[in-house]
Amino acid sequence: MKYVKKKINLENFTVRNIPSTVIVEDSTGKKVIDTSSPNYYYGTIPNYKIDKNGNFILNSSGQKILNTIDINLFLTQKYDDMGAFSDSPYSASTQTLTNKPSGFNSFTYGRLAGAPPNFYYDQNNTITGYTDSFKLKQVKSYRKDSDGNDIYAINLNTSNDPENLFSGTLLDDNEKTVYKIGANIDNIQNTGIEFTTFKNELTKVENEYGKNLTYNTTIFKTDNGGWNQYNTTLSATTKKEEYLGVVFNPEVDSGVFINRGIADIFERHALLSEIKSTNDIDTNRG
């Protein structure tokens, strides 16, 4: 077990401002601080988050937010590389099937020997819904008009991979802007996600932190709800033993035990798994 000691300056979390709501006048007309006010927290660390006026900050459910002190832990880990995995191109067997079996369902039957990729395609489903307008920034031009407004050039491809994907504006008028994100360059009409952002309609929502957001009303639509030639491939995952020792990104589980003074965050029986010698017993305070 490795111990890492960290010191935290509690002054960074201590309230050092006095809101105007706790300043009152005494019998002589002199302004004094009302230390009995529920909004007076000077010199303390409140149990719940407060604003500059000393009022509790509430979440979207109207509940007080617990005031926590967060610590960054930087872990070092060791792992053994077990080789590299690779996707090998799929090729059907010599007895390639030409007709899909009646009632064939890949979720039930899995991989069917001799079945080409189109056996796994199904009917496309159209998915629609409402979203925010932040993706509109991805299709705007670097130029602006004489009034300083963004220009949305029709069919201008703003994708990071313009040879394969299209992201750009399809229509822009006084009412709305219609644009595609992530469409296949060879079939823009039937691929990608189509967004329509209305210029004169606003949507107001409250996020999970209780902050109010306002953006232009936007709807999206995509016809790629099913499996088709644009989102379905067949490949075999193989392990290349000749690459043993080559580093790749593994999945590592880390066990972290936090001691806060003499109080354990985890139960005592969990710490027993870390005791390897009698010295560890002394380290864990007996």
Name the pLDDT band for 277 (thresholds 50, 70, 90).
confident
> Which of residues 211 and 237 earns the better pLDDT score?
211
The pLDDT of residue 249 is 56
Of residues 275 and 174, more confidence is placed in 174
Residue 123 is predicted with a pLDDT of 72
pTM here is: 0.43
DSSP 3-state of 260? strand
Reported as a single tens digit per residue, the pLDDT across 66-92 is: 998 887 777 666 555 555 666 666 665
Q: What is the pLDDT of residue 10?
A: 86
The 3-state DSSP class for residue 168 equals strand
> What DSSP state is assigned to residue 111?
S
Specify the 3-state DSSP secondary structure of 229.
coil
Q: What is the pLDDT of residue 216?
A: 93
With beta carbons less than 8 A apart as the criterion, state whether 167 and 138 touch: yes
H helix count then E strand count, the chain? 3, 11
pLDDT of residue 98 exceeding 80:
yes
For range 143-168, the mean pLDDT: 89
Better pLDDT: 190 or 243 = 190
Token duo for residue 235? 């490949």
pLDDT, residue 228, reads: 75
CB atoms within 10 A of CB 182: 15
Q: How many CA atoms lie within 13 A of 137 on its CB side?
A: 4
pLDDT at 179: 95
Which region among 8-17, 27-36, 72-81, 123-132 has the lowest average model confidence (pLDDT)? 72-81
Predicted pLDDT of residue 234: 77
Q: Mean of the per-residue pLDDT values for the chain?
A: 80
pLDDT per residue as tens digits for the range 225-266: 677 776 777 777 676 666 655 655 555 566 666 666 555 555
Amino acid, res. 204: K
